[in-house]
């Protein structure tokens, strides 16, 4: 079948509308994109008459054949037959896949748009060559979007078709561009099945230089993101607590030796407190809530803390700018979704920020972490409220969220839980007074950011170092026995 010869890495979907293409010639734009490395082209035009579609498709097919790249037609099997191109892409409301296969033959490439696991499973059973999974983010190029599924929804679909769709290729689509493509591929992929590429529309078609845009996108698609974890332990691998503690203390000492930057975009209540704690731990704090500054600050080798304590539209815009800058620079980012479940505004803010970029560590209390996971939790202010989970359930929550986001999750409480999706620890070296002051959780985020700045290869270890630096500063570590309990907890998962 044609499937084995197709490279889905950089999948160009055309758009002939004035808003995206402008007054340029579509064929010339596509040819430039092919010169830049586009590996697959889908001709999508839902407005033109059939005669125009066939004429344009024939011109496109002439240049795709020259570059030895398949051309697919969106929706229109009749146009594909008239042109003699390599296949079609069909949506859920178009001609059904078995009928399209009967008309086009076994060697045609047929892709299907899916946004739910049920749709994906049905397409796999019906013999789809590939799936276009989305919509990833909200986009103006596709107005009939049923659901915005994000990286979490994409990962769920990939996991669900890992067996019956083992040979079915997959691409993500919807609002993906140069600033998001690496994160989308990284966070969406499941250990059982990964994405084969990304579908791009305006990121190439609307680009001033389509060839250059395609070259840059292809490089991004084929390169691991700078924030990708370099060290993830195998599940249930025995942990030597004494070795772990020595590593943690080395990280704490490393902060004092190197004085890394902690860029805080934090709430007004704790700015002074967080700055003083960063100084006490050995770091160099800067409290800068203006997103434009991040382009420079992100290049200084430090880490960013986004603390959602004060939520405003302008603040969210600044957070997103800073997050993008640190992601591109490979700097670590800590997200503190303060009071995430208190209001609809805050719940939506969490969704906005999770879609805006990659967070190396997400830190919050039980109510906040539940909200990030997607549960409906009504918080009262910034307090977590009464716990509804036992210790094993808490451990599972942080583990599952860490696996979904491919990062480190920290859940604070009477017992703190930390996980990178593979290793899960409980830490019980806190003090009851920490819950009676404002900002104790906020300064933990600041402290973890300093540890991340000196230990990027093992983010979970950096998070553990943050706990110990903050709660055992100036005295020998007292958590050895309790860390052993944490090790046993990890074996339950």
List active site positions: 442
Closest CA to 443 of 213, 319, 293, 285: 285
Distance (Å, rounded) from C-alpha 262 to C-alpha 446? 7
Distance (Å, rounded) from C-alpha 479 to C-alpha 424? 16
Q: Rg of the Cα trace of the chain? A: 25
Beta bridge partners of 361: 334, 408
Distance (Å, rounded) from C-alpha 347 to C-alpha 337? 9
Distance (Å, rounded) from C-alpha 41 to C-alpha 111? 12
Q: Which helix (H) or strand (E) holds 439?
A: none
Residues 6+ apart with CB under 8 A from 349: 308, 311, 316, 337, 340
259 Rama class: left (phi>0) / alpha (psi -120 to 50) / beta? left
Taking CA atoms, 325 is separated from 222, 284, 287, 290, 462, in Å, by 20, 19, 16, 12, 22
**Entry field: residues in the chain:** 493
Taking CA atoms, 176 is separated from 118, 203, 298, 358, 490, in Å, by 24, 7, 23, 14, 36
Token look-up 């007054």 returns 23
Taking CA atoms, 126 is separated from 2, 119, 172, in Å, by 17, 11, 20
Residue 150, Cα to own-chain centre: how many angstroms?
Answer: 8
On whether the CB atoms of residues 363 and 334 are closer than 8 A, the answer is yes
Token look-up 């929804």 returns 153
Six-digit token string for 18 = 């004035």
Q: Where are the alpha helices (DSSP H) in 305-390?
A: 313-329, 344-356, 366-373
Query: Taking the alpha carbons of 388, 394, 399, 402 in that order, is the dihedral positive or negative?
Result: positive
User: Any idea of the CA torsion for 355, 356, 362, 365, to the nearest 10 degrees?
Assistant: -70
Pairing of strands 284-287, 261-265: parallel
Closest CA to 16 of 59, 48, 41: 48
């Amino acid at each position: 079948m044609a499937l084995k010869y197709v490279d889905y890495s950089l999948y160009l979907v055309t758009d002939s509308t004035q808003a995206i293409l402008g007054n340029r010639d579509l064929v010339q734009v596509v040819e430039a994109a092919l010169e830049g490395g586009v590996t697959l082209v889908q001709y999508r035009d839902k407005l033109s008459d059939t005669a125009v579609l066939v004429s344009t498709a024939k011109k496109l097919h002439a240049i795709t054949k020259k570059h030895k790249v398949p051309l697919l037609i969106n929706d229109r099997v009749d146009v594909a037959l008239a042109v003699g191109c390599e296949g079609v892409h069909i949506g859920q409301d178009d001609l059904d896949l078995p009928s399209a296969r009967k008309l086009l033959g076994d060697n045609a490439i047929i892709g299907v748009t899916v946004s739910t696991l049920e749709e994906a499973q049905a397409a796999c059973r019906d013999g789809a060559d590939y799936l276009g999974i989305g919509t990833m983010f909200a986009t103006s190029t596709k107005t009939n979007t049923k659901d915005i599924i994000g990286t979490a929804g994409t990962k769920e679909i990939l996991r669900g078709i890992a067996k019956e769709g083992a040979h079915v290729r997959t691409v993500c689509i919807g609002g993906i561009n140069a600033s998001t493509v690496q994160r989308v591929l990284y966070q969406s992929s499941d250990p059982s099945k990964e994405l084969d590429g990304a579908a791009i529309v305006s990121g190439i078609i609307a680009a001033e230089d389509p060839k250059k845009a395609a070259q840059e996108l292809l490089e991004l698609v084929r390169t691991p993101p700078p924030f990708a974890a370099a060290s993830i332990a195998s599940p249930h691998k025995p942990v030597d607590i004494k070795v772990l503690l020595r590593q943690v203390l080395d990280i704490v000492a490393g902060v004092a030796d190197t004085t890394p930057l902690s860029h805080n975009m934090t709430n007004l209540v704790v700015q002074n407190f967080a700055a003083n704690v960063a100084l006490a731990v050995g770091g160099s704090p800067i409290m800068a809530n203006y997103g434009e500054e991040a382009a420079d600050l992100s290049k200084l080798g430090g880490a960013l803390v986004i603390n959602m304590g004060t939520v405003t539209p302008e603040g969210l815009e600044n957070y997103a700018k800073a997050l993008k800058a640190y992601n591109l620079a490979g700097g670590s980012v800590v997200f503190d979704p303060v009071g995430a479940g208190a209001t609809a505004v805050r719940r939506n803010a969490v969704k906005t920020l999770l879609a805006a970029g990659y967070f190396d560590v997400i830190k919050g209390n039980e109510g906040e972490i539940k909200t990030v996971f997607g549960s409906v939790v009504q918080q009262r202010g910034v307090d977590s409220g009464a716990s509804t989970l036992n210790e094993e359930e808490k451990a599972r929550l942080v583990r599952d969220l860490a696996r979904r986001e491919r990062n480190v999750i920290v859940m604070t409480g009477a017992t703190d839980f930390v996980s990178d999706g593979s290793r899960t620890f409980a830490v019980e070296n806190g003090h009851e007074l920490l819950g009676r002051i404002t900002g104790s959780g906020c300064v933990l985020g600041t402290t973890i950011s300093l540890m991340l700045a000196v230990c990027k290869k093992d983010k979970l270890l950096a998070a553990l170092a943050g706990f110990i630096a903050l709660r055992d500063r100036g005295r020998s570590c007292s958590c050895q026995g309790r860390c052993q309990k944490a090790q046993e907890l990890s074996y339950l998962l």
